[in-house]
Structure 1
Amino acid sequence: GPPGLETQWREIDNLNQQQLRAGDSWYLLDKRWYDQWKEYVHAGDQNSSSYPGKIDNTELYEDLESYHLKERLSENEDFVLVPAEAWHKLLSWYDMMDDQPPLERKVVDLPSTVKVEVYPVEIYLCLSSNMESTVSACFSRADKIHAIHQKIRQHLNVSETAESRLWMRSTDTSSERLRNLNMTVLDACLSSGMTVIMEIRNADGTWPTSRPQIMRNSADEDSYRGPPGVCGLTNLGNTCFMNSALQCLSNTPPLTEYFLRNSYLEELNFTNPLGMKGEIAEAYADVIKQMWSGRHYSVVPRVFKTKVGHFASQFLGYQQHDSQELLSFLLDGLHEDLNRVKKKEYIELRDADGRPDQEVAEEAWRNHLRRNDSVIVDTFHGLFKSTLVCPECNKVSVTFDPFCYLSVPLPVSKERVMEVFYVSLDPTAKPTQYRLIVPKAGRVIDLCTALSQATGVPPNQMAVADVFNHRFYRIYQADESLSCILDRDDIFLLLVSGCVDQEGEEVVMAIYMRERSHYRDYGSGSNSYSTSLFGHPLLISVPRAQCTREDLYQLLLKRLASTEEGQSASGSTDTNSQDATDGDQSAGVEPSGKEEEDEDEDEEEEEEAASCAQANKRLPGRRRYTERQKKALFTIQAVNSNGTTERGMGEADAQPYIAIDWDPDMKKKYYNENEAEKYIKHQSMDVPHQQITVQLQECIELFTTVETLEEENPWYCPTCKKHQLATKKLDLWSLPEVLIIHLKRFSYTKYSREKLDTIVEFPLRDLDFSGFLLKKTVNSTEPPCRYDLISVSNHYGGLRDGHCILGKHDILFKNMKKKLAKPKLLNGIVNAIGLSVTGHCNVYSPSIPVDQCRLPPVLPAPRQDPPAQRPSTRPLLQPAREPRLIPDPRWHGWSLFLCQHGDGLISVHFCYLFSHTADHLNQQKLEPPPLL
């Protein structure tokens, strides 16, 4: 048998501490089961109802036929990873549910990291001679292309002597040659859903494909000549977060001009230990040059994606990420790759010690430039002032710190909207779904109180539970925090007859519904049975004096069946019953009144029927049944909290769990499962949730508000000689040429992760920071404090999935809006993009008079061959008749791109690009594409 609970925990915990080694096997384990197991072993009682039962990974599979892993599962939220030895121990102690296959995954050695590859790359393989017939195979990202080559030969019966070449195809119309068989799957940018085609040379030495369609790093058209910068980025799996960030930086004039003029070549730093040997800067420069060549309508940033994955393991593969996280990595990588400081000196930082702010700020900036000097610093870095005050000795510490972007918080609502199901005592009533408003920092009793106000039921007669897989995953106590309830949890508030906090007289029992199927075990030669849960679980309050099997049977009948006279609630079949009618189908129980002639029932069923005979006679107002009764509707069995392991009825437990076991035939006749699953929506569900709308300036004000440090991050006071929860205030001292504002929309706590859907309205022009700056501008050479918007990276969706787009509003978009056939739809898109609604990362440039603007040199002009001449600094724009402040006019507005994903989904991308003014584009008579 398994060892003691304390030994189990110690052995598994020790094994989980081991390091990842390439080639080792780790296993996925359902997080709920693992949590249940931890609760069980920590309880210290082997007879506890928290016994987890067999290992159950049902929720991790897409279905129970193919047993494919669900997409987009998250470690430590949906599953945990355990090493092979720990898995085999757990398997020997608890067994596996329904012969489920184990979810084994290998540890792979990837650039910059060693990790468990939860999602291998699934690729389709075929021959060029029969591309309709494909087979699928899974590969590690660390596998060589040679492994795919060999797999095709094996699966498609290709001779080892046949000369061949490989192509990879991501769409139906284009393919790319896989020339280097020693390249890894990761470096080749192969992702799940793509196809690798083997082409076999003809006997005459020719290849079947004379001129294959090739997808290079960009989508080319020989005749295409477009405005420089008007170029899309192809989605590589789920890389919209990366493309959105790249478009943001591409539309930043000083940075793009720097790369187009090749100025970066003179400043590449190949020896910086904090850099990436210049590879990120070179890969980024290549993308920018392609986008601004005017020869491509879209670019495939494969090489750039590969380089990013090499140096930042979190971006390996093709999963979704935060665009701000990628933007932060890219800015830092470009800075270190282009850092003009070849050897960083050690600088000892000094506190202000009462010195004037101007002096301390200038010293801090000089020190910063002694270690950090690049085009990124020139363009994006600013300075803020940090003030800490000790609450005990009032020591004031002032420092000035550089920043690359402002991460500003969103005002967080103190309320939370929760959707719950209310289950009353009335067996004829279906569960009702309510939408309730509760305090965000509230407790479970606050949820009960909110429902009480809607129903009139006293809150102390409600029990709150998380229902998962037909069982109670967790039954909450009244004083527990609501933060441990996730929005995706199915929360049920169940009414019990007595007070749930009442002790002594009544006990609240958890009731599960199970289908009990008998079968013959030919190995042992004996009869056996299996059980499976179904329906919604219940909670009932039972007097402790009435906890016998017979009393429980009668109470459960009342809970499951209607009290209408026309329906039989006896729970036994009756050959003379005339009570079955077409009345309400309460809780799914449907007495049919069909005659039962079960003369050959086994002994167990006879005993169960007899045990309930007396209980049936005591039912008030019901027909008394004769000895001709052969079978009860169900039997009763005490079980563990998972409903998988049976226990003795008399075993004492703080929370008893009872299973109602239905024979398949009885369930089919008397229980309507479809009817039982139905619920009613309360009118509160139809009331739209009012989103909070704030101005961007309010977020900046919140950024500069005094706050108290959290206990996890105290400040060491040099005067008190100990850590203190000091007050902290941030102020803006100086601003950069181009300002990036990051809205912190993603909130993480111990129990929850959420995306804040607060609507933020931000100005397109003249964002004024003069009221936030401590340092006042004294001359025109200093960076301005008024900014115009040049790009917005938007995130749509939730934490598990979503979509990032890049957008900006201007004249081209207005022209398109006039000419497109569906203006209402377009209006909806404008409002949805909100020019602010879901803004996640905004980029602002200084307001500049139009006659002071310069354009970066571009390679080919629209529909013209590139001139062979030196870059010109002559203004390409004539002064406007009425000069006005507009964003640096190296852009022209919106461009729309349609992106078809591998699963057939077509998404619309709005990309804001700059290269010429809208007037220039109008002169070129650029017609908007008829996309909508």
Structure 2
Amino acid sequence: MENVKPAQFSRTDSIRELMTAMCHAFSVPPDSECRLWMKSSDSSCERLRNVHMSVLDACLSSGMTVIMEMRNADGTWPSSRPQITRNSVEEQDSYRGQPGVCGLTNLGNTCFMNSALQCLSNTPPLTEYFLQSSYLEELNFTNPLGMKGEIAEAYADVIKQMWSGRHYSVVPRVFKTKVGHFASQFLGYQQHDSQELLSFLLDGLHEDLNRVKNKEYIELRDADGRPDQEVAEEAWRNHRRRNDSVIIDTFHGLFKSTLVCPECHKVSVTFDPFCYLSVPLPVSKERIMEVFFVSLDPCAKPVQHRVVVPKAGKVSDLCSALSEMTDVPPTQMVVADVFNHRFYKVYSADESLSCILDRDDIFVYELSAPEEQQEEHVLLALYLRERSHYRDYGSGSSSYSTTLFGHPLLLGVPRSSCSQEALYTLFLQRLARTTETDASTDPPAEQLQQPRKTTEEEKEEDKQEEACSPSPPANEQPAKRRVCRKRRKSLFTIQAVNSNGMTERVMGEGGSAQYVAIDWDPEMKKRFYNENEAEKYVKDASMEVPQQQTTVQLQECIELFTTVETLEEENPWYCPVCKKHQLATKKLDLWSLPEVLIIHLKRFSYIKFTREKLDSIVEFPLRDLDFSGFLLRKHLSDGEPPSCYDLIAVSNHYGGLRDGHYTSYARNKDNGQWYYFDDSKVTYAQEDQIVTNAAYVLFYHRQDQIRKPTLPAPSDITSCTDDDAELGASSYVTMETD
């Protein structure tokens, strides 16, 4: 503050005139970027952000102090905290790298943002616009749809740091904060979609840099049979009268939308601007499921099968497909989701397969044949439990707890065979593979010695026997109880339970199955139950056949985008002739394309109640993507641009619906070299690495606007390995993952 110079200004002078006078007074180089602060008190300053505002409107008065700061050579500001990661080996100021080849620190699940920023950073016309500080003249502080220039300024700070050539990696914390401030969905550190962030950012930059300060009202007209050329030119003029920015100049094209009423055949034609193409991927109507088949044969191990079923099919379709592989009729199958040693759900035949997720453990159980079912059968869901005894030293009584283990079973049992003794024999037969004893007899008496039970335990068993067994005649009851108790002291006891495997029954709990559990004493389980054998299963030959990776061409996706479709019931069209909403047919066509074309591959599919990520490989060209066959306007005039594009960047997504990681490939505009950006880590990339099934958003630059590289490409990377191709000092670069 010792370098203070007084100056006089009119109250009608602009802040820009004040800045010009300060630059002259302090001999600031003409190419320097500066910003002004008004010292409002001894401890605080306020930015004079709008340079077009007058001294009076900025509330400047005589005696006040204005401070000017100049942007540092590394893209930061003196008044801001450093947003870079310091190198522990050498000073940051001594680093000189390739501009633009700079990582972005992961702040916590912000790889989606880093991937989008790297793609935009390597979009030449947009980056040069910011590097040349052209944005300063076009900041729109009054646009109610904008962010008062704050998003544009925060983005400019990140770009200037990344392209200063002074940083290995930049920390975009201020930018992240600004984005969250204006778009609450990006607050916090949850995982998000890179394409959604791109959409918000491009729209926010446009509104912050919109050259139209006062948007006029424009009434849209229907085509009414006029020539497409006339309607399209009118639509583009109307769009530019309200929207004029570097984003419009670079990324916006024009659709032709045709709606046809199915009732009166009214045709409505409109031309609408777009910022990116969201193209669908061909969706297979089939689905591959992996299931375990449990045979009626108690000695047979479960068999894992891979079956092909209709994606929109039902559980009965799964049974039919499995029937062809097992020769078991589908009517003798029950499908269940097994989780944590119990049945998460037992499915009915008419339930949709969309309820079953790929990560679920699906078991299909064979039941007895219908001809064997001479009487009503009960579907029993059988759980295995281990009983642990413990003593309550406070009361001196003894009690027990149970723990589920192993795989549950589903059995069809005649109702007349639901007595304790019959069920014991049946369960022992079904456990023949895992239980080391003869299923037709009890173990020898000397093997059945157990610790003497307390009076409380005997009372508890009596209650269980009364609950599980039908009441015999009075003269037979004692003998019957003795038989039941002898069985329960054999290998296991039988207990009615609820669907969670708990002894407490839930009121009103019904369903297709009745739940029972067999309780093993720990010592008996250890001696007679073979847990290793219980976990074994066999893989069917279908599991050995490698799954074919689906491959589609980018051109196929674009063709799907322009295919006629019928509107959904949730989104009908109001027909002006019929005077009601109609499920019209809709067709989109490409009319004109922008300088930089963003293509969003719709890998995340949401159909009715099903959600999935499509991992198909989309074959997209790195050069010469020709749109001449897709443009509706076939006969271009001499002044029209060509329709061939080259790839400049790719945003990748690895993982599934609920989690994943974003990275990007990008071509440096100055040396033409491809790089792989993984948060703060940057490595060289070869062209044959770029096309993968992770590609999510593609950036194409029109060939007539591509500038030849001004620097030679690095010549020493052809023999680099993955380890030595990493850029920058290993002591500096850190790897963050989501």
Common fold by TM > 0.5: yes
Q: Post-superposition shift, 1:499?
A: 4.8
Q: 1:845 aligns with which of 698, 701, 709?
A: 701
| Aligned residue number for residue 73 of structure 1 | none
What is the SS of the residue equivalent to 1:222? helix
Aligned: 1:217 with 2:84: yes
Give the number of aligned pairs: 620
Equivalent position to 1:459, from 330, 340, 353: 330
Provide closer, same or farther for how the CA distance between residues 340 and 215 of structure 1 changes in structure 2, counting only shifts above 3 A.
Answer: closer
Which residues in structure 2 correspond to 1:647-686 (within 5 Å)? 647=505, 654-686=512-544
Q: Residue 720 of structure 1: which of 568, 573, 578 is its match?
A: 578
User: 1:740 — aligned with what?
Assistant: 598
Out of 566, 591, 596, the residue aligned to residue 449 of structure 2 is: 596
CA distance in 2, matches of 1:758, 1:897: 31
Could you tell me whether the CA contact under 8 Å between 2:421 and 2:484 is conserved in 1? Answer: no
Pair 1:568-2:438 in alignment = yes
Distance in 2, Cα, partners of 1:644 & 1:376: 62
- Displacement, 1:780? 4.7
* Matched position secondary structure for 1:280: helix
* Residue type at the aligned position of 1:846: R
Give, in angstroms, the shift of residue 262 of structure 1. Answer: 0.6
Quick one: which of 398, 409, 426 aligns to 1:555? 426
Residue 871 (structure 1) aligns with:
none
Answer whether contact 1:219 1:299 (CA < 8 A) is retained: no
Other structure's SS at 2:255 match: strand
For 2:610, give the aligned amino acid. Answer: S
Report if aligned partners of 1:760, 1:838 keep a CA contact under 8 Å in 2.
Answer: no
Contact 2:301 2:538 in 1 (8 A): yes
Q: Higher relative contact order by CA 8 Å / sep ≥ 6: 1 or 2? A: 2
Map 1:683-762 → 2, pairs under 5 A: 683-762=541-620
Q: Per-residue deviation at 1:523?
A: 6.5
Cα displacement (A) at 1:218: 4.8
**Partner SS for 1:336:** helix
* Partner in structure 2 of residue 281 of structure 1: 152
CA deviation profile, 1:802-858 (whole Å, cap 9, x unmatched): 2222115799899999xxxxxxx999x866x442432110001111387xx378xxx
Q: Is the 8 A contact 2:105 2:736 kept in 1?
A: no
Residues 600/732 of structure 1: CA separation in 2 closer, same or farther (3 Å cut): closer
Identify unmatched segments of 5+ residues in structure 1.
Answer: 1-181, 183-213, 577-593, 613-624, 818-824, 856-875, 879-893, 909-932
Whether 2:501 is the aligned partner of 1:643: answer yes
Tell me if structure 2 keeps the 8 A contact 1:899–1:907. no
SS of equivalent residue, structure 1 residue 377: helix
Q: Secondary structure of 1:697's match?
A: helix
Shift of 1:465: 0.7
Question: Aligned partners of 1:782 and 1:626: how far apart in 2?
Answer: 93
Residues 899 and 368 (structure 1 numbering): CA distance in 2 closer, same or farther, change over 3 Å? farther
Of 350, 360, 365, which aligns to 1:479?
350
Deviation of 1:409 (Å) = 0.3
Q: Distance in 1 between matches of 2:736 and 2:508?
A: 60
RMSD across aligned C-alpha pairs, in angstroms?
3.8
1:900–1:906 Cα contact (<8 Å) kept: no
1:394 has 2:265 as partner: yes
Aligned AA for 1:369?
R
CA distance in 1, matches of 2:663, 2:302: 40
| Aligned positions of 1:6-405 closer than 5 A | 216-219=83-86, 221-405=92-276
**Superposed displacement of residue 362, structure 1:** 1.4
SS of residue matched to 1:713: coil
Change (3 A) 1:257 1:630: closer
Verify the 8 A CA contact 2:448 2:490 in the aligned structure 1: no
Question: Per-residue CA shift, 1:166-220, capped at 9, x if unaligned?
Answer: xxxxxxxxxxxxxxxx9xxxxxxxxxxxxxxxxxxxxxxxxxxxxxxx9743546
1:537 — aligned with what? 408
Q: CA deviation at 1:521?
A: 4.5
In the superposition, relative to structure 1, how do residues 573 and 733 fare at CA in structure 2: closer, same or farther (>3 Å)?
Answer: same
Query: Taking structure 1 as reference, are residues 346 and 661 closer, same or farther at Cα in structure 2, changes over 3 Å only?
Result: farther
**Could you tell me whether the CA contact under 8 Å between 2:255 and 2:588 is conserved in 1?**
yes
**Equivalent-residue separation in structure 2 for 1:435 and 1:390 (angstroms):** 44
SS at match of 1:419: strand
Instruction: Tell me, in whole angstroms, the C-alpha distance in 2 between the residues paired with 1:570 and 1:487.
Output: 40
Counterpart residue identity of residue 255, structure 1:
L
Q: Distance in 2 between matches of 1:899 and 1:289?
A: 22
Distance 1:849 1:446 in 2: 54
Residue correspondence of structure 1 range 808-823 to structure 2 within 5 A? 808=666
CA distance in 1, matches of 2:127, 2:576: 45
Amino acid in structure 2 at the alignment position of 1:569: A
Secondary structure at the counterpart of residue 848 of structure 1 = helix
1:315 partner letter: F
Flag the 1:404–1:291 CA change in 2: closer, same or farther, 3 A: same
After superposition, what is the alpha-carbon deviation per residue over 1:264-310, rounded to whole angstroms, capped at 9, x for unaligned? 01111122222112111101101111111111222121111111122
The structure number with the bigger radius of gyration is: 2
Q: Name the aligned partner's letter for residue 417 of structure 2.
A: Q
Which region of structure 1 is more displaced relative to structure 2, 747-756 or 247-256? Answer: 747-756
Task: Assess if the C-alpha contact under 8 Å between 2:257 and 2:270 holds in 1.
Answer: yes
- Partners of 1:574 and 1:628 within 8 A in 2: no
Is the 8 Å Cα contact of residues 119 and 651 (structure 2) preserved in structure 1? yes
User: What is the SS of the residue equivalent to 1:296?
Assistant: coil
Q: Secondary structure at the match of 1:254?
A: helix
Change (3 A) 1:595 1:475: closer
Partner Cα distance (1:538, 1:484) in 2: 21
What percent identity do the matched residue pairs reach? 71
Q: 1:503 to 1:394 in 2, by over 3 A?
A: farther
Q: Which amino acid aligns with 2:178?
A: K
Residue 766 (structure 1) aligned with residue 633 (structure 2): no
What SS does the corresponding residue of 1:646 show, helix, strand or coil?
Answer: coil
Higher deviation after alignment, 596-605 or 337-346: 596-605
* TM superposition shift of 1:315: 1.9
- Opposite residue 698 of structure 1, the aligned amino acid is E
Deviation at 1:328, TM superposition (A): 1.0
The change in CA–CA distance for 1:669 and 1:841 in structure 2 (over 3 A counts) is same
Alpha-carbon displacement from aligned partner over 1:248-270 (angstroms, at most 9, x marks no partner): 11111111111011110111112
Deviation at 1:455, TM superposition (A): 1.5
Greater shift, 668-677 or 234-243, is seen at: 668-677
Paired residues of 2:300 and 2:433 also in contact (CA < 8 A):
no
Mapped to 2, the partners of 1:541 and 1:646 lie a distance apart of 23
Cα deviation 1:308-350 (Å, max 9, x = unaligned): 1222222223332211111111111111111112222332222
Q: Once the 2 structures are TM-superposed, how far is the Cα of residue 652 of structure 1 from its aligned partner?
A: 8.2
Q: What is the distance in 1 between the residues matched to 2:236 and 2:326?
A: 62
Q: Once superposed, which parts of structure 1, at least 4 consecutive aligned residues long, lie more than 6 Å away?
A: 500-504, 608-612, 625-630, 648-653, 809-817, 898-901, 904-908
Deviation of the 1:555 alpha carbon: 1.3
Alignment partners' CA distance in 2, 1:397 and 1:427: 67
- Name the CA shift for 1:740/1:606 in 2 (closer, same or farther; >3 Å): closer
Amino acid in the other structure paired with 2:694: T
1:490 to 2:348 alignment: no
Kept in 1: contact 2:434–2:531 (CA 8 A): no
Contact 1:461 1:500 (C-alpha < 8 Å) held by counterparts: no
One-letter amino acid of the structure 2 residue matched with residue 596 of structure 1: Q
1:602-622 Cα offsets, whole Å, 9 max, x none, are: 52587689999xxxxxxxxxx
Distance 2:521 2:160 in 1: 71
Alignment partner of 2:633 out of 766, 775, 782: 775
Render the CA deviation track for 1:619-677: whole Å, top value 9, x for unaligned: xxxxxx99988813222222222222434999986431112222233223222334323
Corresponding letter in the other structure for 1:603? E
2:646 counterpart of 1:788:
yes
Instruction: Give the Å deviation of 1:525.
Output: 6.2
